[in-house]
Chains A and B, each alone.
Chain A
Amino acid sequence: MEKLFNRKVTVTLKYLVVAFVSSLMLMLIMSSFAKREYAISGFLTIGLIAIALTYLTNYSIPMKFFLPGMLFLFAFVVGPILYTVAMSGFQYSTGNYISKPDAISRIIATGIRPDANQTTFDIIVGEDSAKNLEILASDPTNKVYFLSTATTKTDLDPTVLAVDENGDATKAPGFHPLTPDQQNAVDQKIADTRFAYSSAYFITIEGSNVASLKSQTLMYNSSTDTFTNVQTGAIYKDNGVGDYANVANKVELLQPGWRAPIWFSNYTKLFTDPQIRKPLVKVFIWTMVFASLTVLTQFALGLLVAMIMNRKLFGRRIYRSIFILPYAMPSIMSILIWGGMFDTEFGAINHLFGTHVHWFQNAMYARAAVIIVNLWLGFPYFYLICSGALQAIPAELSEAAAIDGATNRQIFRKITMPLLLQVVSPLLVASFAFNFNNFNIIYLLTGGGPSNTLGGDVAGSTDILISYTYKIAFGAGTQNLGLASAISVVIFVIIASISLYGIRRSKVLESFK
C-alpha cells in the first residue's frame, strides 16, 4: 500500500517536472523563432521532442538517464566545438567579419565621393504626406530650393516659400518637419538614406542641418559580381578569399571584406607562411618544455615529500596539512599573489634574496618564474597521489629485497619506482595534457610576456599554444578567428593523441588488476 502511494507521488512529480521544463522550452522556442534565431530554436525543438518521447513513453530506457546531460553537453560543448571547427575553414578576421551581402552594401555605401564643387545644402528633415522621409533643401546663394525623398526630387518656386533670415526655406507645402525626438528615433535611417538629386548624383546628410551632393564611385555589377571605379576605371573582382581585389593590382583590396570559405588555407598557412610558422614553432617548443618540466618538477618534489613522510615522523599531520595548502587555495588568487611577489622593484622574491632581477622582462627568468609558481601549485597533487601509491606497495617486497642484500638505493630503483610508475604514469600523462593547456597560469602570471611588441611579435617568450591562440583570436591587434580556430583544432589533435596514449596505458593497468 505504501509502495503504491510512493509510486503515485513519484510519477506525478515526474510529469510535473517534464511539464515545467517543456513549457519553459516552448516559450524559448517561440521567442527565438520570432527573433529569427532558427538554429537555436531548431535545437530547442529537437530537445523538446526528445524530452517528450523519452519521458512520456518507454521507447528507450538509457535515454531517460542520458538526455538531460546530453542536452547540456550538445548545447554548450559540442555545439561550440563544431562552430569552432567550421570557423577554421573561413577567412574570419579583422576586416572580414561580416557576410558577403553585408560587405557589398558596405562597399557601396562608402564608395562615394563629393561632386567637383563640393556642393552643400542647408536642410530640414521631415516627412512627406505619405510619411516617407523627406528633406527640404535650400541653397540660399543660388536661390535653389527643392524637396527630396529617396526616390523623387521636387523643385520649389522660391517666391512662394517662407524663408528665414539666412535665406533658408522653413516651410513648404506638403512637408512636415520632424521634431528632434522624432529624428533621434530614426537616426540611422536618416544617415543611410540617399535623397534623390539627379541621375548621377544624390544627397547624403552630413550633420544636423547640412547635406552634400555625392556621386557613386564604386559601381557594383551584380551579374559579373565586380566593382568598377568610375573615376579610375579600375575593376575589382572577388579574389576567392573574402575580398574584392583590383584586377590589375591584386594586393589592392576594397574594405571591408567578408568571411569567405577558404577550406584548408588556415591550416596550410600554419606550415607554409613563415610569419605564422616561425612564432608557432617557437611557442610549440616552449609549450612542450613547459608541460614536461612542470610535470617532472611537480612529480619529483611530490615524490620526495611523499617519501620523507612515508614513515612515522613527529608532526606528520601538521606537515601534511601545510603541504596541501597550495592545492586547497583558489589557484587564481595564488597565481596573482606570486605575480606580485616577482615584481622587480617591490617584490618579495628580490627582497628575500637581495637581488634585483627583472623577472618578467627577461625571457629566461620569466620562464623560470612560471615553472617555480607551477611547481608550488601542483606538487601537492603528486604528493597526495604518491603517498597513496607508496602505502599501497606491500612492505614485504622491500623487506625481502633487503634480506637478499639489496641497498636502499637498489630497492628504490628496482622495486619502489617501477611499482609506483605503474600507478602514476597515466596521471603523469593526464597532468601533461592538462598543463599543455594551462591557460590560467600563463595568462595571469606573465600574460605570455616578455614579448617584442614593438617588433610586431604577438607571441611572447612564455606564451604556450593556448595563450598564443587566445591572443590571435581576442588580442589587441588584428584578430584572426579563422586562424585561431585552426590552431585550436591542431592542439585538439595533439592533446587527443597524448591522452589516448595515456588511456591505452591505463587500460593495460586495469587488465592486470
Chain B
Amino acid sequence: MKKFLKEDLWRHAIALVICFFVLFPIYLVFLSALSPSGSLQVTSFIPKAISLRNFHMLFSSPLIPYLTWMKNSIVIAGIVAILSVVIGAASAFAFSRLRFKGKKQGLQLLLLVQMFPAILSLSAVYVIMERVYSFAPRIGLGTQPGLLLVYMGGAMGVNIWLLKGFVDSIPLELDEAARVDGASAVQTYWLIFVPLAAPVLAVVSLLSFIGTFNEFILARLFLVDMHARTVAVGLQGFISGQYVSNWGPFAAGSIIASIPLVAIFLSLQKYIISGLTAGSVKG
C-alpha cells in the first residue's frame, strides 16, 4: 500500500490530468452533437437536455447529403489506398532489391520531391487539371476521378519510402534462394515478396487511407459540387460561413466520420506504430 502511494499515485494523478486535456474537446463535441440548440456555446458542462436532432438532420435533411459525403470519402480514400500501395510496392521492391543504373539518383530525387511544400504547387496542379478538363471533362478539374489521380501522384512518394523500409527488413536470403532456383525478378516479386509483405502492405494502405480521408485543401479546391464533396469538405462548410455556424450537425457528423478511423486505429495500433517509427508523420 505504501508502495502504491509512493510509486503509482502520482502516475495516476498526472495521467488523469492528461486524460482531462485529451478528453475535454472530445467531450465538448459530444455535448454539442447532443444539444438541441446546435451550437458550441457552452453555458454549462452538464447537458440540460439531450436530443438526437443533429444526427437526425444529417440523415434526413435534403440539403445535407451526409451519406453521399461519407460514401465519397470512403470510396476515394479506399481506391487511393489500394492502388497507391499496389503501384508503390513495385517501385519499393525495385529500389530495395534490384541493381540498376541511377538507383541512388532515383532515391535522392524521390526524397527531394517529397520535401517540396505540396500546397505551393497547388496552383500548378490546378492549371494542369484545368487543361485536362478542356479535353477530358470526366477526369479534369472538379471531378472525383481527377482528384483521385492527383492523390495517387501525391501518395506515391511517401508510400514508396515507407514500403522500401519494410522491404529492406525482409531477409535477403529468401530472394537469393529464389534466384538460385531460377526465378526472375518479376517472379520473385509476385511469389516471394508480395505474400511475405502482405501484412505490411495492408498497414501502409491503412495509413494512406487515413491520410487521404483527412485531406482537405485539394478536396476543397476540386470538389465544388455539393454531392461530389468528401466528408471533410462538406462538414467544414457547416462552420466556415461567417454568420452561419452549425456546430451541432458539424459535431454529429465529425463523430460519425471519426468512428471508422478511431476503430481502425485502436484495433490495429500495434501495426500502425511500426509504420510510424519508419518515418511517417500524420497531419
Contact = CB atoms under 8 A, between A and B. Distances in A.
Interface of A: 28, 31-32, 34-35, 37, 40, 60-62, 64-66, 68-70, 72-73, 75-81, 83-84, 87, 301, 304-305, 308-309, 311, 313-314, 319, 321-334, 336-338, 340-341, 343, 345-348, 351-352, 376, 381, 384-385, 388, 426-427, 430-431, 433-434, 437-440, 443-444, 466, 469-470, 473-474, 481, 484-485, 487-488, 491-492, 495-496, 499, 503
Contacts of B23: 322, 325
> In terms of DSSP, what is the predominant structure of the interface of chain B?
helix
Nearest to A433: B115
Given A76-B150, A76-B152, A305-B18, A332 B282 contact: no
A310 B132 CA distance: 54
Contact of A323 (B12, B18, B281): B18
Contacts of B45: 348, 351-352
A37 to B, nearest CB: 5
Contact of A381 (B135, B184, B216, B281): B281
Interface stretch (B48-56, B174-182, B253-261): B253-261
Given A473-B123, A481-B123, A332 B216 contact: yes
Contact-size category for B: 35 or more
B204 interface: no
Contact of A66 (B12, B94, B131): B94
Contacts of B244: none
A35 B134 contact: yes
Nearest to B16: A319
Interface string B1-36: 000000110011011001101111110110000000
A466 B186 CA distance: 42
A350 to B, nearest CB: 9
Interface in B94-117: 94, 98, 100, 106, 110-113, 115-117
B40 A32 contact: no
Given A87-B124, A325-B26, A388-B277, A346 B257 contact: no
Contacts of B261: 328-330
A68 B26 CA distance: 42
A222 to B, nearest CB: 29
> In terms of DSSP, what is the predominant structure of the interface of chain A?
helix
Contact of A327 (B157, B186, B239, B282): B282
B81 interface: no
B116 A385 contact: no
B283 interface: yes
Contacts of B266: 321, 324, 328
